[in-house]
Amino acid sequence: MPSPSRTQVGIIGAGPAGLLLARLLKVHGVESVILEARSRDYVEGRVRAGVLEQGTVSLLEEAGVADRLHREGLIHDGVAIGHSGHPIRIDFKGLTGKHVVVYGQTEVTRDLIAARLAGDGAIVWEAADVVLHGITDDRPRLSWQAGGEHHELACDFIAGCDGFHGVSRQSIPPGALTTYERVYPFGWLGILADVPPCSHELIYARHPRGFALASMRSPTRSRYYVQCAVEENLDAWPDARIWEELKLRLGPAAAAHITTGPSIEKSVAPLRSFVAAPMRHGNLFLAGDAAHIVPPTGAKGLNLAASDVHYLCRALVAFYRTGSRDQLDRYSDTALARVWKAERFSWWMTTMLHRLHDEESFEAQMQRAELDYLASSRAAQTVLAENYVGLPF
């Protein structure tokens, strides 16, 4: 299908932010074109986040792509925080009345792509050298190369949904953005394996050997992580070593239920906190990882992309219905207020649970005190629960 030369919203990136924005806009009668640098196979094959807040599920319902999610997603009413071999159960349902849903980002992405293509919406795959033009005048344009040809798209607005390494944020003059960043001196080594999960709920564990997380994708597919070095050599981590490390770090109760098996995916992710403000420059609006990154220790990355998209979609739809730019003008402040709270929560979870200092250090003592307090205080558990299930949009 030839790509159109004009649309209302030009969207860069077919990750969850770009795909969900396109779908929600369509539901509300606003047209868009998505430009994606990678192939469909690549985008559908990436293994990333796994936990959806109820607010994210509601947006997927509004977008009309929640049928499979409701059939296959796993409802989790709580989570366990492993501490000195004694897990602390955080009862989301009892403390907040809410739950989270375990359903992989890969599946969310596949559902959104299928809906987009079924509805005749354009996705340009393998769009190379995307360039943003006229961001600050009233005639924004996107150009790119595909199939050996130069293409151009005129639009009213550009949505920069192209992730942390994308071109959108880099197209804003450095003087117009303030960035805030913390790079953590460790990474997560993740594996996916077709074995039953060791627990029916997620386990986040602090251990003197380093952090570990037991997660899942389905009753027959597990996702595990161990804290590792940033520059970790995957050859140093054969599956047997990862399983051994998981058994030690998750503690004997979980270890007794771990089923081992060959990994079907293995990768190292760096951990970073990052915010670029404001999330708008002229007619360019940033959403998701293009504007901010959280470390994964609170499962907030994908959910923040969804809340940004909610605010941006609402503002664009209001503009097309009424001509008012008020919500567009408030978009950055509205989105950032929620982003910073999720940044704080993800940073706090990361700091509490990872090994960074010697076990005899003051910092390690603070971590243990934090966890002891969490174990003994309903108020502390409520704070964790209400942030984990997601603050309201």
In the shown chain, the binding pattern of residues 127 to 166 toward ligand RFL, with x for contact by CB under 6 A and - for none, equals x--x------------------------------xxx--x
Determine if 302 is a binding residue for ligand RFL (CB under 6 A): yes
The residue range among 38-46, 47-55, 265-273, 319-327 that interacts with ligand PHB, by the rule CB under 6 A, is: 47-55
Q: How far apart are CA 315 and CA 388, in angstroms?
A: 26
* Residue 12 interacts with ligand RFL (CB under 6 A): yes or no: yes
Select the residue interacting with ligand RFL from 9, 11, 17, 189 (CB under 6 A): 17
Cα dihedral 95, 96, 98, 104, rounded to 10, equals -80
CA dihedral sign, ordered 312, 155, 27, 70: negative
Instruction: Clarify whether 28 is annotated catalytic.
Output: no
Nearest distance in Å: CB 179, ligand RFL: 16
Q: Which span sits near ligand PHB by CB under 6 A: 37-45, 241-249, 295-303, 305-313?
A: 295-303
**Does residue 300 have an active-site annotation?**
yes
Spatial contact of 285 and 157, defined as CB atoms under 8 Å apart: yes
In the stretch 90-109, what mask flags binding to ligand PHB with x, by CB under 6 A? Answer: --------------------
With tokens 């924005």, the residue in question is 21
When binding is defined by CB under 6 A, the residue of 296, 303, 338, 390 that contacts ligand PHB is 296
For the packed helices 16-27 and 105-118, what is the interaxial angle rounded to 10 degrees?
A: 40
Q: Which does 297 bind (CB under 5 to 8 A by kind): ligand PHB, ligand RFL, none?
A: ligand PHB
The verdict on whether 204 is a catalytic residue reads yes
Which two structure tokens, joined as six digits, stand for 60? 């997927």
Please tell me whether residue 226 binds ligand RFL under the rule CB under 6 A: no
247 among known catalytic residues: no
Q: What does the alpha-carbon distance between residue 46 and residue 107 come to, in Å, rounded to a whole number? A: 10
Task: Using only the alpha carbons of the chain, give its radius of gyration.
Answer: 21
Of the candidates 268, 247, 242, 217, the residue with the CA atom closest to the CA atom of residue 50: 217
Q: Scanning residues 171 to 210, which ones bind ligand PHB (CB under 6 A)?
A: 202
Q: Residue 72: which of 264, 216, 213, 261 has the closest Cα? A: 216
φ/ψ of residue 131, rounded to 5: -125, 135
Among 76, 207, 281, 292, the active-site one is: 76
**What is the enclosing helix (H) or strand (E) of 309?**
helix 301-322
Kindly identify the residues of this chain, within the stretch 208-227, that bind ligand PHB according to CB under 6 A. Answer: 215, 223
If we measure between CA atoms, which residue out of 171, 252, 169, 245 comes closest to residue 213? 245
Question: Using CB under 6 A as the criterion, which residues of the chain lie in contact with ligand PHB when the complex forms?
Answer: 49-51, 202, 215, 223, 296-299
Active site residues: 76, 204, 296, 300, 388
Question: Using CB under 6 A as the criterion, which residues of the chain lie in contact with ligand RFL when the complex forms?
Answer: 12-18, 35-38, 43, 48-50, 105, 127, 130, 161-163, 166-167, 269, 288-289, 296, 299-302, 305
